[in-house]
Amino acid sequence: MAFARAVGEPMPSPGRVVPPTFTATSIQHDPEHMRGMRPTGALAVAPVGGGKLLHAEQHFEYLLPVHLGDVLEVTEEYGRRWTRSSKRGGELLFTELVKELRNQHGAVVVRSRMVLVETPPTSASVDERPA
């Protein structure tokens, strides 16, 4: 319901198919996430030393519909890592986080791939705009 409110989806009802990006909120089911203000999962790799961690890309593959009430199990692992020179100097470090979600019947319902980019602490912001 809170998800629907935040992104303007219709209110959920039992058995309804969940919105396409809803499963990306699975970190909410990790009891350790944000305990003592410390994130787990992708956000736990936030860079030390003042660099910035941004979400560059997100990919979903839908194999079966996910219905409200389904119980999902997530496995996640790091995928490729690569670097690219930043236009503003320094190196951009890209990291992939690959997730597979299975439902209560053991069937894979969604595969997702998140690409995170870590920007160097010294680079000027590439996205400045007056507020």
Partner 1 sequence: MSVLPEVGQIHSMVVCDEVTRTQIVQYAGVSGDFSPLHTDEPAARSAGKASIMGHGMMTMALSSRVVTSWFGIESLRTFSARFTAPVWPGDRLTTTATIAAVDIHGSCARVQITLKTTNDDGRLVLHGDAAVAIDFGSKPK
Binding-site ranges for partner 1 (CB under 8 A): 2-3, 5-9, 17-22, 24-25, 27-28, 33-34, 39, 43, 46, 50, 52-62, 65, 124-125, 127-131
Residue 113 CB, shortest distance to partner 1, in Å, is: 9
Place of tokens 């997100």: 58
CA angle 82, 92, 57 (to 5 degrees): 75
18 or 92, CB closer to partner 1? 18
Residue 64 CB, shortest distance to partner 1, in Å, is: 10
106 or 130, CB closer to partner 1? 130
Residue 104 CB, shortest distance to partner 1, in Å, is: 19
CB-based contacts of 25: which residues, under 8 Å, 6+ apart? 3
| Cα of 63 vs its chain's centroid, Å | 19
3 or 98, CB closer to partner 1? 3
Residue 1 CB, shortest distance to partner 1, in Å, is: 10
| Cα of 35 vs its chain's centroid, Å | 18
Give the dihedral of Cα atoms 7, 70, 76, 44; nearest 10 deg: 50
8 or 106, CB closer to partner 1? 8
Q: Which tokens in the block code for residue 70?
A: 């389904």
